[in-house]
Every structure is written in C-alpha cells, then in structure tokens.
Amino acid sequence: MARHIPRRRIRRALLAPVLAFGVTLGLTAAPAQAAAWHSCEQWGNTSLGGYTLYNNIWGRGAGAQCTWADSPASWGVWADHPGTGGIKSYPNAKKRLDRKISGLSSLSSDYRVTVPTTGAYNTAYDIWDTDYDYEVMLWMNHHGPVGPLGSPQGSATLGGHGWNVYKGRVTDPDGSYHDVFSFVRTSDSTSGTVDILPVLRWIRDVKGWWGDETIGDVQFGFEITSSPGGLEFLTRNLTVSAR
C-alpha cells in the first residue's frame, strides 16, 4: 500500500521562496509546442482560468518531474521517479470553493486523461475542508502496486460511480492529524463525469464521519509513486462546477 502523507506542509512550503528541484530538464520534458506555463521546479505553480496548477513534488526519494499547461483542461506531466515505494508527487489542478456542503446544490466534474500502461500511480480528486482536518480522495483509475490509506469500509454507489471505500487517519508534522476518506472506483475510468456532492453528503449524513464542513480545495491530478525512465500523464479535459 502506498502510504498517504498529508500535503498540508506542502501548502506552507508554497509560501516560501520557490526552490529548484534537481536539474532543469530539456525539451524532452516539455510539450510538443510551447505551453502557456512550464515548470520543473519542486513547488512550481501558476494560476490559469480560475484554477491553480502545481508541479508539487513532495515525497521522499523523488526523481525529476516537469508540468506544463495551456489551460486547466489541457495540461500534462513528464515524470521520472524511481521504481521504489512511497508517493513521490501529486501534480494537480486546483479549484478553490470555500462553500459549506449545505450551501451547495450541486458539485460535479468532467475529466478525461491519458495515462501510461507502466509505472505505479493513481488518477484522483483530492478534496479538502478549509481547516485541512478532512481529506476525500476519489480514485478514478490506478496502476501498479498502489493502494489507499486506511481500512475497508465496504462499497457504495454514489455520483454515478461504484466505489470501494476506505477510512484512515494521518498524523501531521505538527502533531495534529487529519482523517482521509478514500473512494476507489470499482472499475478504472479515464473519462467521464463524477457528481461529487452525493459523496460529500453520504460521508456526512450516512456515515457521520464529518459535519457540515466548508469545502476548500477541489484538486485533480496524478499521485505518482514510480515512473522509471520517464512517463507522461495528460489531462485532456477538466471542469469543476459548483452551484
């Protein structure tokens, strides 16, 4: 199982001066034509079209990685992480909501990705409350020896998908903790629509694992454990819509 380490410390690091990560890669790590944004820096990030794009190399033993973007719906990652255990990175696009669950009438997302047939990774939404006390992960597909944190909690059909559900707890560097609720699709998908709000309501109303939380970050990206030799991950469509 790939141990999930909280990214709260990563958000804090984004407030510090950006550090170069490893060597700067050449054109092999860039898209075929010049992109609106391209970064090989560990915490490289930019704002595009109401979303924030992150390179986000945060795990131990990581290799080289570059992220490029033309828009939130057109971005990609080239990563060369060693074939060892432990999550190395989570390049992602983030939409900020700051909305209570009870104040949402809908929250949905369209996605379409192209992912490699080798390596170890998952393609996932990562949803946080504003206090970073709770994390909800929606695994749309995965490959290789990776798995969610925590213990199995059965299965559920929510938001147009069937899920295997897991619940765990992570101790953060400052000694606090946050709970992680992972929903792993029962069959891998590289495109479609997911209705996120029924998942959040199910956690609150059926399981009672949280209250009427204020949802802060809705992230979508690739949680990469290993990609030896260099692999490419592409997002070809992404929208996050809230009402």
Phi and psi torsions of 51, nearest 5°: -120, 160
pTM score above 0.75: yes
Q: Would residue 207 count as lying in a domain?
A: yes
Q: Would residue 193 count as lying in a domain?
A: yes
Q: What pLDDT is stored for residue 33 in this prediction? A: 56
pLDDT tens-digit series, residues 108-136: 999 999 999 999 999 999 999 999 999 99
Q: What pLDDT is stored for residue 29 in this prediction? A: 46
Confidence of residue 31 (pLDDT cuts 50, 70, 90): low
Structural domain boundaries, residue 210: 8-242
The mean pLDDT value for 139-167 works out to: 97
Q: Would residue 174 count as lying in a domain?
A: yes
Q: How many CB atoms lie within 10 A of CB 145?
A: 12
Looking at the structure of the chain, the number of domains it has is 1
Biggest alpha carbon distance in the chain?
50
Q: Does residue 86 contact residue 225 with C-beta atoms inside 8 Å?
A: yes
pLDDT tens-digit series, residues 85-113: 999 999 999 999 999 999 999 999 999 99
* Lowest-pLDDT choice from 6-10, 171-175, 203-207: 6-10
Q: Would residue 158 count as lying in a domain?
A: yes
Is 198's pLDDT higher than 80?
A: yes
Q: Would residue 3 count as lying in a domain?
A: no
* CATH number for the domain that contains residue 218: 2.60.120.180
Q: Would residue 165 count as lying in a domain?
A: yes
Q: What pLDDT is stored for residue 18 in this prediction? A: 32
